[in-house]
């Protein structure tokens, strides 16, 4: 081999025993940091988010160097798929709400503009459906609901979850013209809670672009890379992705590479919070976590709802059991007073 390559045997032996240069050693250390950050993101982060992750850990490296090291280590982020699922079915007999957004997905604070939509998730047992409500300002998933049918009740559940955790006043709820959002039940619920419904045009994804962008992230980071045998497995995976990854940890370039919850924490620290609340009107009390994975707290006490952030205003009763106990105590006091 040495003769074919026209090198000396002694030079080849010297090269084998020569230690790696300082640059190669530094790249090996950097690759290990990158692997850890990449694994923590469930192998979804690319170069921009990896760079921010490393910077927060005190590891300084340029964009091109990180890209080269990731390429050499066989690491890459996920890209959005090109397929889609059609879930919008307009009811021609129902009157849609006016478009109050006009593709201007901007807000100056939380609970000013929400966007909502639905998507389907394939499982071995059939399709299941996910309805979400996102806050435009912080990109946080304020409410979501999971079901086996596309019904108005499903989108109302997602809206109720958002109302429970956020307590807005006069918020705009923007969606497409799907029959679930044009139903009288949904319009009545919005009127009860002071929510201003808004709807884009039919068959135009740009009129609800922010919600479509969220579902594109969900598809490429979770749905495209997993398969589930049952509805329960799919529900748990979506719950974990939203509450364990998207809201608390997933970085957004539009918010300075911060996660929704961390972005809201900074807003609270700067004093840019809103204390406006809405009346009860039948809002579900307690934690909105899935029944198959209730939150657990230290000791025997319940933990706060996983949806809650520093800007949310959850009720003191964090779970249905506590809420029921409190209601019973209040009833007992009233009966005692009347008896006296």
Rounded distance between C-alpha atoms, residue 58 and residue 3, angstroms: 48
In DSSP notation, 179-210 reads HHHHSHHHHHHHHHTT-EEEE--TT-GGGGHH
pLDDT at position 41 is 85
pLDDT value of residue 33: 92
Q: What is the pLDDT of residues 159-205, one digit of tens each?
A: 999 999 999 989 999 998 888 888 888 999 999 999 999 988 776 77
Residues 6+ apart with CB under 8 A from 151: 180
How far is Cα 221 from Cα 81, in angstroms, rounded to an integer? Answer: 10
Rounded distance, CA 26 to CA 38, Å?
18
Structure tokens at 232: 């329960």
Strand-pairing partners, residue 129, are 120, 147
Given a contact cutoff of 8 angstroms between Cβ atoms, the answer to whether 144 and 164 are in contact is no
In Å, how far are 99, 201, 255 from 206, measured between CA atoms?
13, 9, 21
pLDDT of residue 160: 95
Distance separating alpha carbons of residues 67 and 63, to the nearest angstrom? 6
Q: What is the pLDDT of residue 244?
A: 92
At 333 the pLDDT is 44
pLDDT digits 0-9 by tens, 32-80:
999 999 888 888 888 888 998 898 889 999 999 999 999 998 888 886 6
Strand-strand pairing, 113-123 and 196-199: unpaired
- Sign of the torsion angle spanned by Cα atoms 137, 47, 239, 209: positive
| Structural contact between residues 239 and 289, judged by C-beta atoms closer than 8 angstroms | yes
Q: How far apart are CA 136 and CA 260, in angstroms?
A: 10
The vertex-164 CA angle with 334 and 283, nearest 5°, equals: 50
Q: Give dist(CA 97, CA 191) in Å, integer.
A: 12
Tell me which residues of the chain have a pLDDT lower than 70: 79-95, 203, 272-340
CB within 8 A of 210, min separation 6: which ones?
105, 115, 134, 136
The partner residues of 252 in beta bridges, in order of sequence, read 258
Q: Do residues 77 and 46 touch, judged by C-beta distance below 8 A?
A: yes
Output the pLDDT for position 280: 54
Other C-beta atoms within 10 Å of 272: how many? 14
* Cβ neighbours around 186 below 10 Å, total: 24
Residue 282's pLDDT is 56
- DSSP codes of every residue in 97-117: PP-SSTT----SSTTSEEEEE
């Amino acid at each position: 081999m040495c003769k074919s390559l026209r090198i000396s045997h002694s030079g080849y032996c010297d090269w084998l025993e020569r230690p790696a240069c300082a640059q190669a050693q530094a790249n090996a250390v950097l690759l290990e940091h990158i692997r850890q950050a990449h694994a923590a993101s469930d192998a979804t982060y690319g170069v921009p988010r990896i760079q921010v992750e490393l910077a927060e850990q005190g590891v300084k490296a340029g964009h091109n160097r990180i890209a080269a090291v990731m390429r050499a280590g066989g690491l890459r982020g996920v890209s959005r798929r090109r397929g889609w699922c059609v879930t919008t079915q307009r009811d021609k007999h129902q009157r849609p709400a006016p478009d109050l957004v006009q593709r201007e997905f901007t807000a100056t604070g939380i609970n000013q503009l929400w966007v909502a939509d639905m998507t389907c998730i394939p499982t071995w047992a059939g399709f299941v459906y996910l309805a979400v409500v996102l806050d435009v300002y912080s990109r946080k998933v304020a409410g979501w609901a999971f079901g086996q049918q596309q019904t108005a009740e499903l989108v109302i559940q997602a809206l109720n979850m958002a109302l429970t955790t956020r307590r807005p006043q006069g918020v705009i709820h923007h969606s497409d013209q799907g029959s679930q959002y044009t139903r009288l039940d949904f319009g009545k619920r919005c009127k009860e809670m002071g929510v201003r419904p808004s709807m884009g045009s039919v068959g135009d994804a740009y009129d609800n672009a922010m919600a479509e962008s969220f579902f594109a992230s969900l598809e490429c980071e979770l749905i495209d890379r997993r398969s589930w045998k049952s509805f329960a497995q799919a529900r748990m995976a979506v719950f974990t992705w939203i509450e364990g990854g998207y809201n608390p940890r997933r970085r957004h370039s539009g918010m300075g590479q911060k996660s929704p919850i961390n972005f809201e924490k900074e807003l609270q620290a700067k004093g840019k919070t809103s204390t406006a609340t809405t009346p009860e009107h039948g809002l579900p009390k307690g934690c909105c976590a899935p029944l198959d994975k209730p939150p657990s707290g230290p000791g025997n006490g319940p933990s706060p709802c996983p949806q809650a952030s520093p800007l949310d205003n959850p009720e003191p009763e964090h779970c249905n059991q506590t809420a029921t106990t409190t209601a019973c105590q209040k009833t007992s006091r009233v009966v005692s007073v009347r008896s006296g």
